[in-house]
Structure 1
Amino acid sequence: MKILIVIPAFNEMPQIGELLDRLLKKVDRRDVLVVDDGSTDGTGDIASSKGVRILRNERNLGKGISLRKGFEVALAEGYDGVVTMDGDLQHDVEDLPGILKMARRGYDMVIGSRWKDMSGMPFDRYFTNRLTTFILSLLSGKRLEDTQSGYRFIKRNVLRSVDVSSSNYDFESEYVLKAAIRGYSIGFAPIKTIYGAEKSHINKVRDTLRFVRLTLKYLWR
């Protein structure tokens, strides 16, 4: 399979450089696309210095829009699918073969799941992850795992047909929900739970409200 690695990144210095160093030991730099979402700390310059492909948003547009731009590149260039990774080192490149192995079994989407060992996850993240995954499972009618994980494989046919309105961190929740509702097959590959000391870009209150709005939208559809 021809896979494009899509990495949305906003102010991920110095982690983005270390991530790319590790990743380029596994994949060709021509198959790595960093979408710099208006970073002000040199994230885009570091990515560019590693020789990977880069798109730059003039201002911070949100993770969802950055991912959508990466998907558009993959479709335009004939890739069989994408793997999305965060730029903050929470996704271990050593877990990539496991995700691709599941993808080769024919799944339309594979989510890197931390559910086998969530001991390293802060309690608030653990609680939110479990709650949102339970709600999305109810809404979709399918048993889902770790719907908050951004480490994912998405097949070309899903990229072509699933479009969502969310533009920020709720993009990933809506994407898996819509894919599940449409009947696409979703597999789960175990990945490590990694949380560093870096500050998260997630705003708990704002993003919780966005998830509530998303839930209500699909309850009333």
Structure 2
Amino acid sequence: MNDFLIIIPAFNEEENMVSVIGTLSRLNKPFDIVIIDDGSTDLTAQKANECGADVIRHPTNLGYSAAIQTGFKYAKKKSYPYVIFFDGDGQHDSSNISDMMEAIQLENVDVVIGSRFLQKGNMKIGFSKKVAINFFQHIIHLTTNKCITDPTSGFKAYKAKVYEKFTKSSEFFYDLPDSNFIIDILLRDLNILEIPVNMFNRQYGKSKIHTTGLKPVIYMAQTLLSILIVVIKKKKIVRIGGDLN
């Protein structure tokens, strides 16, 4: 077993599995790979198995948040010191894995976020998503006084002392863990480092997160509610003399 575990949440990504796992395997880096198949109805799990990756399957589609927590629980069970989340849709650039591995091992870093906005990349972002990203940048700064350039990035690395906290359902209650999760981490006085990464638009399949119609509005409202819960929870713990850590 290696010190690093790359966790790939996937739902109906059979067209991308071979490419995603292949690009990672060709790096010849000291990490293991696990696919969290979130109830796919296609050949996602079969393709991943054929590529030699370990696969954990949800019996039904439980959502991205559940896939993340399953990854955390698997890593804790195996006692991995570090985990890296990597998208199964081909949008993350495997050439940045080495940078993520190096950054998360720094002494005063607890979480690393791969930001597409710290360098010019190939990914095109729609107007509604740009609005949401800018909005949550301001919310994070307002609640934590910290600047996070890419609050919706799924390309993240965690040390064990962080991800193990969120294996408990009471600590990880998020429907979509984006800005709300980042705020929770920062309010625990944990250190987040952003590093520049490249991202691509997906080549096959459709995004599981809707970016048209009322869906972005609903997403922003749900995230704001979750942020409110996080802030109230933090104030309650501080008031009674508890410890966020």
TM-score by length of 2: 0.82
After superposition, the C-alpha distances for 1:191-221 in whole angstroms (9 at most, x for unaligned) are 1131135421113424223112213324544
Give the equivalent residue in structure 1 for 2:201: 195
The one-letter amino acid of 1:139's match is T
Q: Provide the C-alpha distance between the structure 1 equivalents of 2:27 and 2:104, rounded to a whole number of angstroms.
A: 17
- Residue 30 of structure 1 and its aligned partner are, at CA, apart by 7.3
Give the equivalent residue in structure 2 for 1:52: 53
Distance 1:63 1:127, change over 3 A: same
Question: Quick one: which of 180, 183, 206 aligns to 1:174?
Answer: 180
Question: Quick one: which of 104, 107, 110 aligns to 1:108?
Answer: 110
Give the equivalent residue in structure 2 for 1:37: 38
Question: Do the aligned residues in 1 keep the contact of 2:18 with 2:48 (CA within 8 Å)?
Answer: yes
Pair 1:135-2:139 in alignment: yes
Residue range with higher mean Cα deviation, 52-61 or 141-150: 141-150
Distance 1:183 1:27, change over 3 A: farther
Residue range with higher mean Cα deviation, 14-23 or 189-198: 189-198
Give the equivalent residue in structure 1 for 2:190: 184
Question: Quick one: which of 122, 125, 129 aligns to 2:126?
Answer: 122
Structure 2 gaps of 5+ residues are 234-245
Q: Provide the C-alpha distance between the structure 2 equivalents of 1:2 and 1:29, rounded to a whole number of angstroms.
A: 7
The one-letter amino acid of 1:140's match is T
Distance 1:28 1:101, change over 3 A: closer
Structure 1 gaps of 5+ residues are none
Please give the residue correspondences for 1:84-103 in structure 2 after superposition, counting only pairs within 5 Å.
84-103=85-104
Pair 1:145-2:149 in alignment: yes
Q: Provide the C-alpha distance between the structure 1 equivalents of 2:49 and 2:187, rounded to a whole number of angstroms.
A: 38
Give the equivalent residue in structure 2 for 1:161: 165
Q: Secondary structure at the match of 2:83?
A: strand
Q: Provide the C-alpha distance between the structure 2 equivalents of 1:172 and 1:157, rounded to a whole number of angstroms.
A: 19
Q: Provide the C-alpha distance between the structure 2 equivalents of 1:122 and 1:192, rounded to a whole number of angstroms.
A: 17
The one-letter amino acid of 1:159's match is Y
Q: How many residues align?
A: 219
The RMSD of aligned alpha carbons is 2.0
Q: Provide the C-alpha distance between the structure 2 equivalents of 1:29 and 1:37, rounded to a whole number of angstroms.
A: 26
- Residue 94 of structure 1 and its aligned partner are, at CA, apart by 0.5
Q: Provide the C-alpha distance between the structure 2 equivalents of 1:196 and 1:65, rounded to a whole number of angstroms.
A: 22
Q: Provide the C-alpha distance between the structure 1 equivalents of 2:57 and 2:185, rounded to a whole number of angstroms.
A: 28
Give 1 or 2 for the bigger CA radius of gyration: 2
